[in-house]
Structure 1
């Protein structure tokens, strides 16, 4: 095996037939065909005219030498292998044809088809079991449609007489393409056929739905026996066209007529072709999805045959790659550029290989196989695009040049940069700065150099500069230089803000507010918003939000600043902007949606003067806002317009029992300032008990005094039990004797609440205070000129707080006695009645004390009789066998039984204490018994006996307090269940089977 230079456009590997491929019976090789790793060679060897081998990289089988039933004068002329590498058709010089199943290496004669098959159009939907519908072209210009099974049987054979070619013209090559199979009954197909001098391209609509000649039993029984057979051929539509589209060239022999196709690796449904003719070869493209027949095929150029010493050097065969045409000559292989026709590669093999015979291309492995007399050579493309980018660049096809240069960037970085610069220069010369910037952004040239090319003060160049910066920003990743990323972002934002500001200025200028100006502003705004919302700048926007805000403030662009704040959920900035733009309701909507108490505290004072009612309603609905913190803030900015609404919010806040004292104090302040007439009603609603009011008494008094609400001051003094001060204001400052009397009556009612019968429990009002207050009331009445009789009635109203003798010095000097008679008599009678009542009460108390003393003496002498036959109420054993307890109700218990019974009535803590006392007593009695047995009696034993008595007394206090059967303690247990829920469930479960 021989291998060529690895750096060439094609790498060659040579195999000797006998040494490397182990072909034993080798005659004169005539044709070679390779497809999907299956290689078939035909030779002039009667016993084994066909050699088949698998040359794929995964498997390498020993060559199979296939015998074909030929006459002695006949030999194989042509071989055709399907693209899938499963089927092959052999054709002889005399017109006999054979089918090879390459899976089983079995040869089958095709008896229904006669004539040398020079071309086969394989079906794109070919399967492994059979060939499907295929077209065969013969050396007589006949087209044959057939389908061959894997056993070599022809399903049908249909010959087409094609009127557009002469009878004796041979079919060089044919290809079939299925271009549209959406509807099987109307599939679009394309046929490309090559004959010497002409290249046909034919479109047809073909019904490819399944067909069969089967006749059912029902039809047979009905008499439909003579129905004609249904034709199975489908490609007849191709040959009904009288004048199909074709390309023409100078006619020549069959050996100078070839057509080779190669799929375009970049564009689907596009094939490159090379068409060999007598004048040279033509290259072009085949667009399967062309709109019309003339747009399907396109000729690029024709390269004439090379002349050597005046004579044409005729090629033997040719092949095609994506970028080159490979031409086989007797002693060499030449590769010409598909685009320029110049020779870029030439391989002249050594003489002992023999002359070149045939050239075949395997599309699966992208290897070109060349057969000589004694060797088999294969050529594989190796970086064949190394010069193609230059061709595209010179032709101005920058897209393809750039695509190829990008693929080879690791091998030739300068080529990539050159293409970028040339393309950018072209765009700049065309003043397409945006496109130039997109190209330059991919260049490795220094950033400063690129910017200087686009930084000229021109609107179109500004667009190019912005595009360049944008592309550079997109190329940066998270781990790249943060400062560079921040700088690019701020630069881009500055440019967009400037452009947006200029557009707004133009819109507001002469002829402003035009549709065109408005649309431009809206478009620029959308562009900037999309820029700020990009995923790759989100972190930068968050990090530089302060700088972004300042930049937008410099451009006086509050709308953009508001958008950024909304994007970052920066609600504080949003609210500040909205309140600054007098968008108070929108600001309130933001506050409500966010629900942040801190934002409410911060911005509610700014909203209260403008939208007081909606703000207060929002505050009531926001559970996180604390009224005790919010109300003082609002009070500082309230005015006459919002005061009443603020007052309603405070009133709503204090309606909750948990409202703190500070809110009540604020409510008092607001009421005293705005609605002093409502203050007394609120104070009365809080009650008259100073310990029960929810406001600060000192604050309330100071506020009422400050706003000169005297009735409220009097009420507060009374609640605070400052009777003298309250009476002084009522009589001296308000001259309201009735109010003074009500104060005195309130004071007396408090005194009665503190008196139980005749015994004073906790009086906060001294007798001297009552006497002084009632005297001041009487003095005020006398000084006001009231009648003496009404003045003396105060004696009754005061409930003996003052006496007639207290009033006499206050009466005028010339008061007549007749006016004093009735009051004096009534006063004496009342005193007499009270003295009698007091005497009766003292007598009743003395009798009650005597009865209690008698009952006590009887109780001391009462005894309980215990008989020897009495038993314990708990264990029903004899009572006298051990220590027992006898209750006055006649129930008797042993002490230990009583301890057990009383555990149901005492608390857990007392139960533990009882157990501890019983244990101590037990140990102590055991020690005493031990001492008695030893005969030791002394002072220590006496102490232990006293301690035992004390323990027994404590135990009795716990268990002997009440009878466990009939006392109040036992009666209270009537409604207690016998079992808890858990005990009852457990008891029920214990009875289940």
Structure 2
């Protein structure tokens, strides 16, 4: 008898039997005919090579053991020794699957459902078939385990299967939580544990990646179970802060919504969307959040939220809308007209004391003012802010309207407005002061105060305001003013006399200079040349200037003519033709020409072309940007330089 790992080889007289030690079954029977081989004498095993030898009286036989353990897994499986069976079939997936399936079924029969589910999940059995086995069970943990294990075995590219399993698991978790809620156990340890497992499951990378592409389905699923807490958790997990904020607002948890808006996300568009409702219920906190964002927000897009602000309801907390607009104007230096217009409207409605401060801060230069002056005037008129109206009228240049309105409030304010026009606008300034004086005399009956205007405004004279006084008034009130006015007139007459004497003297001196200039002369030498063409000067008509520059008449005209306006150019050409015609006629009929007429033509021509030396006068300055080479000479100059 020889022992191997799993078998016993038993030698008989005429045969060799191999019996399995695991199930005691004969698996091999080799017969030796005695008449041929002789009687079997013995059996032995080579401990090194593992071969088995038998011998008879006539022969020796060799047995080689091959894959002795090939069916061992099945034997252990039949013995329900599953772990050992798995050890002997790990290299054979088909055999291993059979072992796992039988082990899973064995555990299922033993009511160990979760362990069974874990094993079924790694077998190749039909998913639907196994799922049905666990669906029929009263408790769903085993089904959940089965689906979870199946999910973990899927590859990332199996997106459809992953989506299906994830959705099913969410449904299972929600069902469990819902059942506990119905039993009023939503504060029990079991409920808390399941909810924690559920949220951990949602946070798994594979699951989270799947849900990000199917969040609408999950939202609908959670909503169908009415699980508000997990709905919010899932929205935060997906960074869907718009839904989170909407949820808090629906449940009137405004501060929580503002906290999420301010601290959990960076999308400024959500500020524009949710600020209108937040401004109604948490104005101070909302404005604080806006100010914290600074330049990240566009104030113009927040105007709808500011319009929603109920000033009457929150007046005791301070006007938060004005606070934010002031921040935009003063800290952010915002120049947007819409922002400034709305700030003006709020000032006009609820903070009139700050209205004038703002208007004065904006100044009176219409080019630098950020608000619409017409809109501001309409608001100030509507809410009867007279001083503000006066200020705006002044900015618009409507000084008469400004003075008229100021007179209804304060004469001093009217005097300030009357001083606003430029000093050059004498007529307007005088007209405004006369309006004030007339008001004081006719409306306030204050003659003495009206006389004081003569000192306040130098443009007013006693005769300007006398028509405003009543027919019967004591002359003592303006006696001094009349005397002062008469003295000023005397001084003015004396100054006019002095000016007339100076003018007469200046005219006499000019007359003498003109007379002396007519008698002025210069010397021309025979060898002198024209300053323009450099030819002898005496060969034809010429001009001599006081600066001693000399030009032929035709040379001077040729130099001056291109720079003259077209009208004067035409006039010069006409005068030249007249002179030429007269010269021709003189040659034909010497006695018929008038010397006086020739002199007039030459005088006109002299005034046009010879009023100044072209080298020493303004003509040279006007030609400073003239090219050295004329356009028509440019091509020739280029060729010469080449």
Q: What's the TM-score, normalizing by structure 2?
A: 0.69
Is contact 1:631–1:650 with CA below 8 Å preserved after alignment? no
Structure 1 alignment gaps of length 5 or more: 1-313, 362-366, 756-762, 862-952, 960-993
Judged with a 3 Å threshold, the aligned counterparts in structure 2 of structure 1 residues 452 and 796 are, in CA distance, closer, same or farther, namely same
What residue is the counterpart of 1:449 in the other structure?
129
Aligned equivalents of 1:573, 1:440: Cα separation in 2: 40
Is contact 1:596–1:624 with CA below 8 Å preserved after alignment? no
Q: CA deviation at 1:718?
A: 0.9
1:646 paired to 2:312: no
Aligned equivalents of 2:15, 2:342: Cα separation in 1: 110
Judged with a 3 Å threshold, the aligned counterparts in structure 2 of structure 1 residues 787 and 614 are, in CA distance, closer, same or farther, namely closer
Greater RCO (CA < 8 Å, at least 6 residues apart): 1
What is the CA deviation profile of residues 290-322 of structure 1, one whole-angstrom value per residue up to 9, with x for unaligned ones? xxxxxxxxxxxxxxxxxxxxxxxx44xx443xx
What is the CA deviation profile of residues 90-138 of structure 1, one whole-angstrom value per residue up to 9, with x for unaligned ones? xxxxxxxxxxxxxxxxxxxxxxxxxxxxxxxxxxxxxxxxxxxxxxxxx
1:525 paired to 2:208: no
Aligned equivalents of 2:219, 2:349: Cα separation in 1: 44
What residue is the counterpart of 1:578 in the other structure?
248
Structure 2 residue matching 1:690: 3-state secondary structure: coil
Q: CA deviation at 1:335?
A: 5.4
- Paired residue for 1:717, among 393, 406, 424? 393
Is contact 1:328–1:359 with CA below 8 Å preserved after alignment? no
Aligned equivalents of 2:458, 2:385: Cα separation in 1: 31
- Paired residue for 1:590, among 249, 260, 265? 260
Aligned equivalents of 1:347, 1:357: Cα separation in 2: 16
Aligned equivalents of 2:334, 2:204: Cα separation in 1: 49
Q: What's the TM-score, normalizing by structure 1?
A: 0.46
1:342 paired to 2:32: no
Aligned residues: 509
* 1:300-319 correspondence to structure 2 within 5 Å: 314-315=1-2, 318-319=3-4
Aligned equivalents of 2:501, 2:87: Cα separation in 1: 129
Judged with a 3 Å threshold, the aligned counterparts in structure 2 of structure 1 residues 422 and 785 are, in CA distance, closer, same or farther, namely closer
Judged with a 3 Å threshold, the aligned counterparts in structure 2 of structure 1 residues 661 and 425 are, in CA distance, closer, same or farther, namely same
Judged with a 3 Å threshold, the aligned counterparts in structure 2 of structure 1 residues 955 and 832 are, in CA distance, closer, same or farther, namely closer
Q: CA deviation at 1:652?
A: 1.2
Judged with a 3 Å threshold, the aligned counterparts in structure 2 of structure 1 residues 506 and 346 are, in CA distance, closer, same or farther, namely same
- Paired residue for 1:739, among 382, 401, 413? 413
Is contact 1:319–1:326 with CA below 8 Å preserved after alignment? yes
Aligned equivalents of 1:550, 1:492: Cα separation in 2: 15
What residue is the counterpart of 2:475 in the other structure?
817
Aligned equivalents of 1:677, 1:536: Cα separation in 2: 63
Judged with a 3 Å threshold, the aligned counterparts in structure 2 of structure 1 residues 496 and 354 are, in CA distance, closer, same or farther, namely same
Judged with a 3 Å threshold, the aligned counterparts in structure 2 of structure 1 residues 842 and 557 are, in CA distance, closer, same or farther, namely farther
Aligned equivalents of 2:506, 2:118: Cα separation in 1: 117
Judged with a 3 Å threshold, the aligned counterparts in structure 2 of structure 1 residues 602 and 822 are, in CA distance, closer, same or farther, namely same
1:685 paired to 2:361: yes
1:499 paired to 2:176: yes
Q: CA deviation at 1:557?
A: 1.6
Tell me the C-alpha RMSD between the 2 structures: 4.1
Q: CA deviation at 1:469?
A: 2.6
Q: CA deviation at 1:715?
A: 0.7
Aligned equivalents of 2:222, 2:294: Cα separation in 1: 36
Structure 2 alignment gaps of length 5 or more: 521-619, 627-642
Aligned equivalents of 1:375, 1:825: Cα separation in 2: 170
Q: CA deviation at 1:711?
A: 0.9
Is contact 2:248–2:257 with CA below 8 Å preserved after alignment? yes
Judged with a 3 Å threshold, the aligned counterparts in structure 2 of structure 1 residues 486 and 751 are, in CA distance, closer, same or farther, namely same
Q: CA deviation at 1:354?
A: 10
What residue is the counterpart of 2:103 in the other structure?
423
Aligned equivalents of 2:442, 2:72: Cα separation in 1: 129
Aligned equivalents of 1:659, 1:347: Cα separation in 2: 110
Is contact 1:402–1:416 with CA below 8 Å preserved after alignment? no
What residue is the counterpart of 2:564 in the other structure?
none
Judged with a 3 Å threshold, the aligned counterparts in structure 2 of structure 1 residues 676 and 835 are, in CA distance, closer, same or farther, namely farther
What residue is the counterpart of 2:293 in the other structure?
622
- Paired residue for 1:781, among 434, 440, 459? 440
Judged with a 3 Å threshold, the aligned counterparts in structure 2 of structure 1 residues 375 and 742 are, in CA distance, closer, same or farther, namely farther
Structure 1 residue matching 2:183: 3-state secondary structure: helix
Judged with a 3 Å threshold, the aligned counterparts in structure 2 of structure 1 residues 680 and 345 are, in CA distance, closer, same or farther, namely farther
Q: CA deviation at 1:705?
A: 1.9
Q: CA deviation at 1:375?
A: 8.4
Is contact 2:442–2:468 with CA below 8 Å preserved after alignment? no
What residue is the counterpart of 2:373 in the other structure?
697
Aligned equivalents of 1:620, 1:667: Cα separation in 2: 16
Aligned equivalents of 2:106, 2:505: Cα separation in 1: 133
Q: CA deviation at 1:596?
A: 2.1
What is the CA deviation profile of residues 221-267 of structure 1, one whole-angstrom value per residue up to 9, with x for unaligned ones? xxxxxxxxxxxxxxxxxxxxxxxxxxxxxxxxxxxxxxxxxxxxxxx
Is contact 1:661–1:694 with CA below 8 Å preserved after alignment? yes
Structure 1 residue matching 2:342: 3-state secondary structure: helix
1:558 paired to 2:228: yes
Q: CA deviation at 1:405?
A: 5.5
Q: CA deviation at 1:644?
A: 1.8
1:468 paired to 2:149: no
Q: CA deviation at 1:358?
A: 3.3
Q: CA deviation at 1:806?
A: 3.6
Aligned equivalents of 1:830, 1:675: Cα separation in 2: 51
What residue is the counterpart of 2:308 in the other structure?
637
What residue is the counterpart of 1:208 in the other structure?
none
Q: CA deviation at 1:781?
A: 0.8
Q: CA deviation at 1:422?
A: 3.8
Aligned equivalents of 2:126, 2:403: Cα separation in 1: 97
* 1:752-771 correspondence to structure 2 within 5 Å: 752=423, 755=424, 763=425, 767=427, 769-771=428-430
What residue is the counterpart of 1:358 in the other structure?
45
- Paired residue for 1:368, among 50, 58, 67? 50
Aligned equivalents of 2:344, 2:500: Cα separation in 1: 52
What residue is the counterpart of 1:408 in the other structure?
92
- Paired residue for 2:167, among 478, 490, 493? 490
Is contact 1:650–1:667 with CA below 8 Å preserved after alignment? yes
Structure 2 residue matching 1:368: 3-state secondary structure: coil
* 1:843-922 correspondence to structure 2 within 5 Å: none
Is contact 2:419–2:429 with CA below 8 Å preserved after alignment? no
Aligned equivalents of 1:847, 1:634: Cα separation in 2: 79
Larger relative helix fraction:
2
Larger relative strand fraction:
1
- Paired residue for 2:276, among 602, 605, 612? 605
Judged with a 3 Å threshold, the aligned counterparts in structure 2 of structure 1 residues 344 and 618 are, in CA distance, closer, same or farther, namely farther
What residue is the counterpart of 2:525 in the other structure?
none
Aligned equivalents of 1:842, 1:627: Cα separation in 2: 69
Judged with a 3 Å threshold, the aligned counterparts in structure 2 of structure 1 residues 696 and 348 are, in CA distance, closer, same or farther, namely farther
After superposing the two structures, state which structure 1 stretch, 614-623 or 664-673, moved more: 614-623
What is the CA deviation profile of residues 640-660 of structure 1, one whole-angstrom value per residue up to 9, with x for unaligned ones? 326622321211111133542
1:541 paired to 2:211: yes
Structure 1 residue matching 2:308: 3-state secondary structure: coil
Structure 2 residue matching 1:692: 3-state secondary structure: coil
1:808 paired to 2:466: yes
Aligned equivalents of 2:241, 2:506: Cα separation in 1: 82
Aligned equivalents of 2:262, 2:505: Cα separation in 1: 78
Is contact 2:279–2:306 with CA below 8 Å preserved after alignment? no
Structure 1 residue matching 2:365: 3-state secondary structure: coil
Structure 1 residue matching 2:458: 3-state secondary structure: coil
What residue is the counterpart of 2:488 in the other structure?
830
1:393 paired to 2:77: yes
Judged with a 3 Å threshold, the aligned counterparts in structure 2 of structure 1 residues 496 and 816 are, in CA distance, closer, same or farther, namely same
Q: CA deviation at 1:377?
A: 6.0
Aligned equivalents of 2:268, 2:505: Cα separation in 1: 73
What is the CA deviation profile of residues 869-911 of structure 1, one whole-angstrom value per residue up to 9, with x for unaligned ones? xxxxxxxxxxxxxxxxxxxxxxxxxxxxxxxxxxxxxxxxxxx
Q: CA deviation at 1:693?
A: 2.0
